[in-house]
Amino acid sequence: LVSREAKEENTIVHVKDVAIGGDAVTVIGGPCAIESVEQVMRAAEEVRRCGGKILRGGAFKPRTSPYAFQGLEEEGLKIMRIAGRFAGLPTVSEVIDEASLELASQYLDMVQIGARNMQNFRLLQAVGRARIPVILKRGLSATIEEWLMAAEYILSEGNSQVILCERGIRTYETATRNTLDLSAIPLVKELSHLPILVDPSHATGASRLVKSMSKAAVAAGADGLLVEVHPEPCRALCDGPQSLDPEGFEVLMKELAPVARAV
């Protein structure tokens, strides 16, 4: 179902009034983790002001260490809903199991399956039954084929509102958090009709690299970006070093416009 042979024309995923996969480049921005009402409100305002179309923020955080901040859970989802309404932006947050999916679908407009859960087949099937738009991130060490087959699990349960997201893969390189696989963009476009985003924040792990990788992603044909934006990155509870501050996000959006127009 995910293949070009099955469906020739590009899929456009609608999240409220935002269309992903059409002509425009859609930017999704917001903090890694939802920390407080004030933090998400400020991030939402900036995202909106600079031309971002959807607000992101994690309420359930699958962290490497069990002692790291795990997210505000349902309280966080409530904050997201308030901030989204306040800024007039649709919202997306990661789900990690069926219980969090159930909760997130009550509060938000779209869900995300993170890299660590790309092959959580029960979760993929549950999202497939849920009929809510979903961002499916590429697994840390997943091949493009494995990633597309994970998407197939969702489509085969009846949900075709799937957006893929390249977020960097594990390689021997340690200078960046992950290695951004830019070639995945045209390859996925060749193989599938689904839209594809790039997450330059998790791909690089470094805010100073986010702008150039964003431009590269758009030039390579990405349908949009998923960017971490925090009002005060140095105080972030999660992923501060890779988060753009409001000024950084503003510059990114300005410099992205001509690249987006050119392709």
Chain residues in the site for ligand PEP (CB under 6 A): 32, 58, 94, 114-116, 137, 167, 199, 202
Q: Closer to ligand PEP by CB, 192 or 204: give it.
A: 204
Question: Cβ of residue 86: shortest distance to Mn ion, in angstroms?
Answer: 22
Tell me the angle at which helices 144-156 and 184-191 cross, rounded to the nearest 10 degrees: 40
Number of residues near Mn ion (by CB under 5 A)? 2
* Tokens of residue 58, six digits: 């994690």
Report the chain's C-alpha Rg in angstroms: 17
> How many helical (H) and strand (E) elements, i.e. helices and strands, does the chain have?
9, 10
- CB count within 10 Å of CB 4 equals 14
Question: Cβ of residue 161: shortest distance to ligand PEP, in angstroms?
Answer: 18
The Cα–Cα gap between 259 and 263 comes to: 7
Q: Which amino acid is at 170?
A: R
Decide which of Mn ion, ligand PEP, none touches 48; Cβ closer than 5 to 8 Å per partner kind.
Answer: none
* Tokens of residue 20, six digits: 């992903």
Question: Cβ of residue 58: shortest distance to Mn ion, in angstroms?
Answer: 7
Pick from 15, 32, 132, 220: which binds Mn ion (CB under 5 A)? 32
Q: Is 239 in the site for Mn ion (CB under 5 A)?
A: yes
Decide which of ligand PEP, Mn ion, none touches 167; Cβ closer than 5 to 8 Å per partner kind.
Answer: ligand PEP
Decide which of Mn ion, ligand PEP, none touches 94; Cβ closer than 5 to 8 Å per partner kind.
Answer: ligand PEP
Q: Closer to ligand PEP by CB, 13 or 136: give it.
A: 136
Q: Which residue is nearest to Mn ion (CB)?
A: 32
Question: Cβ of residue 113: shortest distance to ligand PEP, in angstroms?
Answer: 8
The Cα–Cα gap between 150 and 156 comes to: 10
The Cα–Cα gap between 124 and 174 comes to: 30
- CB count within 10 Å of CB 24 equals 13
Decide which of ligand PEP, Mn ion, none touches 230; Cβ closer than 5 to 8 Å per partner kind.
Answer: none
Question: Cβ of residue 5: shortest distance to Mn ion, in angstroms?
Answer: 35
Question: Cβ of residue 199: shortest distance to ligand PEP, in angstroms?
Answer: 6
Q: Closer to ligand PEP by CB, 80 or 261: give it.
A: 80
Burial of 262 (0-12, 13-18, 19+ CB in 10 A): exposed
**Beta strand residue intervals within the chain, DSSP E:** 13-15, 18-20, 26-30, 54-56, 91-95, 110-113, 134-137, 162-166, 196-198, 224-228
Decide which of ligand PEP, Mn ion, none touches 133; Cβ closer than 5 to 8 Å per partner kind.
Answer: none
Binding range to Mn ion, per CB under 5 A, among 28-36, 82-90, 129-137, 147-155: 28-36
Q: Closer to Mn ion by CB, 32 or 101: give it.
A: 32
